[in-house]
Amino acid sequence: MSNWLAFGTGVGIELASNGLRVVVARVRPSSVEVPGAHLIENHHERPAAEWGREYAEFLSRHGAAHLAATVILPRRDVIVRVVALPGVESKDTEAALRLQIDTMHPYAEGDAAWSWARIGKTNSILVALARQSYIDRQLELLTEAGVKVASFTVSAAAVYGALRLHGAPPAEGFAGLLETEAGVEVYGESAARPVYSASVPDSWERAALVARSELRLERLEPRELTEVLPKPVAAPDNLSSTFGTAYAAALASACPRYALSANLLPQSMRQQSSRLIYAPTLALGALLMAGLAGLGFYSRYEDKRYLEALHNEIQTLEPRVKRLEQVDKRMEQTRQRMRTLDAFQARTRNDLDAVKEVTRVVPPPAWLNTMELTRTTLTIAGESDQATGLLKSIDSSAQFQNSEFVVPLNRVGNTEIFRIRAAREGGPR
């Protein structure tokens, strides 16, 4: 299936432990080509100017020296969350997330960089987080080497867009696995989880088992991530599965409109790729000069009359505009106070309903020894003879969703010790 909007050339970089994996990709409506893939080894141990020249020479050989790269941060150094916000309008999404963001990461106050993107047309939001100090260090290193960076993002955001360049991913659900230095990275989609991303520090079999459980798919045969991504019609011999993440980043760089826009790089630090970046400025400048030349043909008398009429109109309307702005400001303050009061009044009832619902969905002989209830999450721990059935029971509740085991089940005799975390449906936003 071709898509006539899938057109562009991009550069993807993966920050690997043994160096920088760089891929250049050209996307066309019905195909993908990879002119080159290159590993810049041990860049942390070499002078930035040295490996920066190596990077520039690689891009120049493939006609991509003008491009700014999309950089994938290592999965071990980022946190990826999928948050459901039913009923929240797009204009209110960031404000709703800002109220919850401190519960999504363990970083020190002020050291959390985060970005978000809505997943398709769903109510689910992908949130990417990383330490701001880590991003600053990586940006400083790449800038010192002369690497132009358009985006710092996560693999899930890039893979999501790459899968939609020439069609749609399998509707029944799938999972792609990629072996990395830190274990096995998993990306998957299903009806239960619109996007699932995790790094499993175990074997391929263990990662497949985790993916099957998290995606709620009984029949799932995980594949190599590179097999899930669009297959290039032309590629260099060294483009192996280890370049899978960098390849996805290159596709996202070539066609950013398809990828999830979870960019952790500050807006002021993002660089542009297009050679025609200054074309609109030049065109507007030319139009301005033409307009100024045209104005020179008007008589001074007509110009003066026009300016006087305009000035009088501004003076007439300005007081009305200021009054309207003041009224709008007071109305917004009043609405905000009403929303705050309504939210506080609903908290006690919501919490009591949640406690009552926990009692219902965790039936005897299961019992709890701890229960932690926050505005957005529920965490319970206890014992049961069949703990695996609790996930389905909790997800069937109108109060909770997206339940998961925080730690693996531990069986002692005929009893399973469990710890489950779930998101609250009815909590304040």
Half-sphere exposure of 357 (CA within 13 A, CB side): 21
Q: What is the pLDDT of residues 52-61, one digit of tens each?
A: 999 999 999 9
Is the pLDDT higher at 289 or at 369?
369
Strand partners, 124: 84
- The average pLDDT across 319-346 equals 86
**Rounded to an integer, what distance in angstroms lies between the CA atom of residue 171 and that of residue 169?**
6
CA 195 → CA 13, 119, 268, distances in Å? 22, 8, 29
Token output for 257:
């409109």
Question: What are 126's two structure tokens?
Answer: 């992908």
Among 168, 104, 113, which Cα is nearest to 137's? 113
Average pLDDT over residues 341-366: 84
Among 148-162, 214-228, 277-291, name the most confident range: 148-162
Amino acid, single-letter form, for residue 255:
C
Count Cβ atoms below 10 Å from residue 256 Cβ, excluding itself.
20
Euclidean distance between CA atoms 77 and 105, whole angstroms: 12
**In this structure, is the dihedral angle defined by the CA atoms of residues 410, 392, 199 and 187, taken in order, positive or negative?**
positive
Whether the per-residue pLDDT at 280 is higher than 70: the answer is no
Give the whole-angstrom CA distance, residue 224 versus residue 174: 11
User: Of the candidates 223, 177, 166, 216, which has an alpha carbon nearest to the alpha carbon of residue 194?
Assistant: 216
User: What is the pLDDT at residue 273?
Assistant: 65
At 123, list the tokens.
């109510």
Comparison of pLDDT for 164 and 303, the residue scoring more: 164
Q: Which of 214-228, 267-281, 333-347, 387-401 shows the lowest per-residue confidence on average (mean pLDDT)? A: 267-281
Please say whether the beta carbons of 188 and 196 come within 8 A. yes
Residue 147, classed as helix, strand or coil, is coil
Give the chain's mean pLDDT: 88
Q: What is the pLDDT of residue 320?
A: 86
pLDDT tops 70 at residue 356: yes
> Can you give the pLDDT at residue 203?
86
The residue whose two tokens read 């029949």 is: 219
Output the pLDDT for position 298.
64
Q: How far apart are CA 27 and CA 254, in angstroms?
A: 7
Q: What is the mean pLDDT of residues 414-422?
A: 90
pLDDT higher than 70, residue 282:
no
Q: What is the pLDDT of residues 124-182, one digit of tens each?
A: 999 999 999 999 999 999 999 999 999 999 999 999 999 999 888 888 899 999 988 77
Which are the contacts of 195, defined by CB distance < 8 A and separation ≥ 6? 82, 119, 124, 126, 156, 160, 187, 189, 260
Kindly state the helix (H) or strand (E) to which residue 84 belongs, with its residue range.
strand 78-84
Per-residue pLDDT tens over the stretch 19-28 = 999 999 999 9
Confidence band for 78, pLDDT divided at 50, 70 and 90:
very high
> In this prediction, what percent of the chain has a pLDDT beyond 90?
48
Greater confidence (210 vs 288) lies with 210
Q: Which residue has the tokens 């999504």?
A: 104
Query: First CA to last CA across the chain, in angstroms?
Result: 40
Cis (ω within 30 of 0) for the bond into 365?
Answer: yes
Confidence category of residue 428, pLDDT binned at 50, 70, 90: very low
Max avg pLDDT among 69-73, 164-168, 254-258, 269-273: 69-73
What pLDDT is recorded for position 132? 94
Mean pLDDT over 82-88 rounds to: 90
Provide the β-strand partners of residue 15.
Answer: 20
Banded pLDDT at 278 (limits 50, 70, 90): very low
Where residue 13 falls among pLDDT bands split at 50, 70, 90?
A: very high
Q: Is the pLDDT of residue 357 over 70?
A: yes
- Give the whole-angstrom CA distance, residue 247 versus residue 109: 34
What does 205-216 look like in DSSP terms, one character per residue? HHHHHHHHHHTT
Q: What are residue 24's DSSP bridge partners?
A: 11, 36
pLDDT in the model for residue 279:
55
Q: What is the mean pLDDT of residues 63-83?
A: 93
Tell me how far apart the alpha carbons of residues 109 and 20 are, in angstroms, rounded to a whole number.
30
DSSP 359-391: HHHS-TT-EEEEEEE-SSEEEEEEEES-TTHHH
Which residues lie below 8 Å from residue 166, measured CB to CB, with a gap of 6+? 1, 2, 3, 6, 29, 30, 32, 230
Q: What's the CA dihedral at 196, 199, 203, 209 to 10 degrees?
A: -20
Q: DSSP state, 236? A: -
* Average of per-residue pLDDT across 173-193: 89
**Cβ 414 vs Cβ 386: under 8 Å:** no
Residue 388 · residue 400 · CB < 8 Å: no
